[in-house]
């Protein structure tokens, strides 16, 4: 029942002082126990709704791989290299194997090179599907998350068939080639999975208008000169208008023989980064189809038999190998003094820079509601940053 | 092959014209130069002008027998498509070098912060060298060659008096 207010009551309401909090400044921790942050935290200072400063708080996954590798021979390190980034284990396998190959000067068989590229691109596809999943989750679009992870499992089935491991291939791409040849019938299965992935990509396009564009357009804009100064690479840099891709500019394996495009956009916002990844998936499918068409016959490893580790020595020298991972530029600097184990290994992951300087730069001045969108538009992986 | 390495040799020529360096072309798109510590910042400034605007990584290699730390700066040029590595040596007992923040900005800052924590190298001009990864660590920089990780883990994690863990001491 609505009570009719009398004149006296109205006057008292007018005299109530509005509550204006004197202090609108507060600290806000995003992660490390946040469901959408991964094993990583950001300490934010917030004024009202606006982020005034951001400081990354890494170290929750620091395992010291660079040091561990100094105690192990390359075949053991190949297994260790999976663990550098959980989300794209095969790509890290490849960078490590290439560094050892360049030092030993082994001529990797042609078939092994094709299989390496095939696996690296499949790994890129599944990594982008994970990204789509967590990005959807961050934007409150749970359907996208479940679908992406469901479709990713088809690719994991292929990994299980070929490498024996769904997430960690246990050093499948090893120095000298790959551990095993493709099992019978795997090519048809890969083609079927590509069709399924294309189906998912069509769905991603259909979802585009309702969720992605509204939450990400004009959010977290990174200018080209800032991107280069902060050390951004890969899709993050390509979304700022820099046409660069390690596969084209510094080709490794058989990428210079393949026909694919580098998607570039100029906006530099979170939406552009999302679109770039979508286009990259198309290019990866194009690459895999070409690889399957041209796959030559022959050996898959040089030497074909594994020699006891104690007898294998890495010749003296130093190399710096760059690869295009799903997240950006991944590099290995390896120094050898002619022993079985490398003397020094430096792993340069793309997220070391994306998660610390780039993220801090983008979060500063953003709105609190945009934090997840910015965070996941960088497609970050704490494992590869901490190493 | 010699003709195709024209671009790479040109980089060494350009640098040698101004600085006293030892340079080599390792292969296509890979150039290595060694410079002494005093000329490092000037050289870095010069190569940035040549187009090496992406600092891919900074790394330290520890040489205890020699008594030096070797710093390697890996630089990529988006225009020339060459990876240039600048190497320089520091005294291991007094590892102090000028920071390259003024040249490559925050990118360099974070790399230097990591190396300060893991190797104990001091970067003059880098004001924020707070620990990055290792919380509450008060031991020596753990990536130095003379820090024995295996022994440290044994001491910290396994009890010799415990029958089950004694095997780690045999």
Three-state DSSP class for B86? strand
Kindly state the average pLDDT of the residues B145-154: 84
Residue-level pLDDT at A119: 92
Instruction: Average the pLDDT over each of A283-287, A356-360, B139-143 and give the range with the smallest value.
Output: B139-143
**Contact list, B57 vs chain A (CB under 8 Å):** 331, 333, 346, 348
Kindly state the average pLDDT of the residues B38-65: 89
**Contact list, A319 vs chain B (CB under 8 Å):** 26, 30
Q: Is the pLDDT of residue A114 over 70?
A: yes
Which of B29, B83, B143 is opposite residue A67, by nearest beta carbon?
Answer: B143
Alpha-carbon torsion angle A55, A56, A57, A63, nearest 10? -160
Instruction: Point out which residues pair with A24 in neighbouring strands.
Output: none
Kindly state the average pLDDT of the residues A265-294: 90
By the CB < 8 Å criterion, does B94 face chain A?
no
Q: Is the pLDDT of residue B1 over 60?
A: no
Provide the shortest C-alpha distance from residue A133 to chain B (in Å): 28
Answer CATH for A65-386 from 1.10.645.10, 3.40.50.2020, 2.30.130.10, 1.10.10.350: 1.10.645.10
Residue-level pLDDT at A309: 67
What φ, ψ does residue A145 adopt, rounded to 5°?
Answer: -60, -50
Tell the CATH superfamily of the B6-134 domain.
NADH:ubiquinone oxidoreductase Nqo5 subunit (3.30.460.80)
pLDDT digits (tens, 9 = 90+) for B56-83: 999 999 998 988 999 999 999 988 889 9
Instruction: Point out which residues pair with B90 in neighbouring strands.
Output: B69
Residue-level pLDDT at A382: 83
Confidence of residue B29 (pLDDT cuts 50, 70, 90): confident
By the CB < 8 Å criterion, does A67 face chain B?
yes
More confident residue, A10 or B99: B99
Confidence of residue A1 (pLDDT cuts 50, 70, 90): very low
What are the C-alpha distances in Å from A233 to residues A70, A247, A378, B44, B120? Answer: 27, 13, 10, 21, 28
CB A98 within 8 A of CB A120: no
Residue-level pLDDT at A20: 65
**Contact list, A333 vs chain B (CB under 8 Å):** 57, 59, 72, 74
d(CA A164, CA B40): 48
Write down the domain spans for chain A: 65-386
For A18, half-sphere exposure in the C-beta direction (CA atoms, 13 angstrom radius) is 1
**Contact list, B141 vs chain A (CB under 8 Å):** none
Q: Is the pLDDT of residue A234 over 70?
A: yes
> Measured in whole angstroms, how far is the alpha carbon of residue A385 from the centre of its chain?
11
**Yes or no, beta carbons of B134 and A62 under 8 Å apart:** yes
By the CB < 8 Å criterion, does A242 face chain B?
yes
What φ, ψ does residue B26 adopt, rounded to 5°?
Answer: -80, -50
By the CB < 8 Å criterion, does B85 face chain A?
yes
pTM reported for the whole predicted model = 0.85
Write down the domain spans for chain B: 6-134, 139-170
The Cβ of residue A99 has, within 10 Å, a number of other Cβ atoms equal to 28
The DSSP output letter for A239 is T
Q: Is the pLDDT of residue A117 over 90?
A: yes
């Amino acid at each position: 029942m609505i009570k009719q207010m009398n004149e006296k009551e109205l006057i008292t309401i007018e005299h109530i002082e509005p509550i204006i909090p004197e202090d609108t400044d507060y600290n806000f921790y995003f992660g490390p126990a946040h469901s959408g942050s991964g094993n990583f935290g950001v300490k934010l200072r917030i004024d009202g709704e606006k982020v005034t400063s951001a400081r990354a708080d890494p170290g929750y996954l620091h395992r010291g791989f660079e040091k561990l590798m100094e105690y192990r021979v390359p075949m053991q390190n190949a297994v260790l290299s999976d663990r550098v980034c959980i989300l794209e284990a095969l790509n890290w396998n490849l960078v490590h194997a290439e560094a050892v190959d360049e030092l030993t000067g082994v001529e990797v068989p042609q078939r092994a090179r094709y299989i390496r590229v095939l696996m690296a691109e499949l790994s890129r596809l599944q990594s982008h599907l994970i990204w789509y999943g967590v990005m959807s989750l961050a934007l409150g679009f749970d359907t996208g998350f479940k679908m992406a992870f469901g479709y990713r499992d088809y690719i994991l089935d292929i990994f299980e068939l070929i490498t024996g491991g769904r997430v960690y291939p246990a050093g499948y791409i090893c120095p000298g080639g790959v551990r095993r040849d493709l099992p019978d019938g795997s090519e048809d299965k890969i083609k079927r999975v590509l069709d399924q992935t294309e189906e998912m990509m069509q769905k991603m396009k259909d979802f585009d208008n309702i969720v992605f564009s509204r939450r990400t357009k004009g959010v977290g804009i990174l200018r080209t000169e800032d991107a280069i100064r902060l050390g951004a690479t890969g899709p993050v840099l390509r979304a700022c208008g820099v046409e660069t891709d390690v596969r084209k500019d510094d080709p490794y394996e058989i990428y210079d023989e393949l026909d694919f495009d580098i998607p570039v956009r100029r906006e530099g916002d979170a939406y552009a980064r999302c679109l770039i990844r979508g286009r990259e998936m198309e290019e990866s499918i194009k690459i895999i189809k070409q690889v399957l068409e041209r796959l030559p016959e022959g050996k898959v490893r040089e030497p074909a038999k594994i020699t006891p580790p104690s007898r294998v020595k890495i010749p003296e020298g130093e190399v710096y190998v760059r690869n295009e991972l799903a997240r950006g530029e991944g590099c290995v600097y390896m120094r050898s003094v002619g022993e079985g184990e490398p003397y020094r290994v430096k792993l340069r992951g793309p997220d070391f820079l994306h998660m610390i300087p780039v993220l801090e730069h983008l979060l500063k001045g953003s709105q609190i509601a945009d934090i997840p969108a910015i965070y996941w538009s960088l497609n970050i992986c704490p494992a590869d940053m901490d190493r | 092959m010699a003709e195709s390495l024209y671009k790479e040799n040109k980089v060494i020529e350009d640098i040698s014209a101004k600085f006293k360096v030892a340079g080599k072309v390792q292969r296509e798109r890979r150039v290595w130069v060694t410079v002494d510590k005093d000329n490092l910042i000037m050289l870095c400034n010069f190569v940035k002008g040549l187009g090496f605007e992406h600092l891919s990584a900074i790394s330290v290699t520890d040489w205890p027998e020699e008594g030096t730390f070797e710093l390697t700066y890996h630089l990529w040029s988006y225009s020339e498509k060459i990876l240039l590595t600048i190497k320089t040596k520091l005294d291991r007992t007094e590892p102090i070098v000028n920071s390259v923040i003024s040249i490559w900005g925050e990118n360099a800052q974070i790399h230097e912060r990591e190396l300060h924590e893991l190797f104990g190298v001091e970067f003059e001009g880098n004001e924020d060298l707070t620990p990055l990864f290792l919380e509450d660590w008060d031991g020596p920089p753990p990536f130095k060659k003379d820090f024995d990780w295996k022994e440290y883990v044994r001491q910290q994690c396994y009890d010799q008096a415990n029958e089950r863990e004694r095997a780690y001491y045999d």
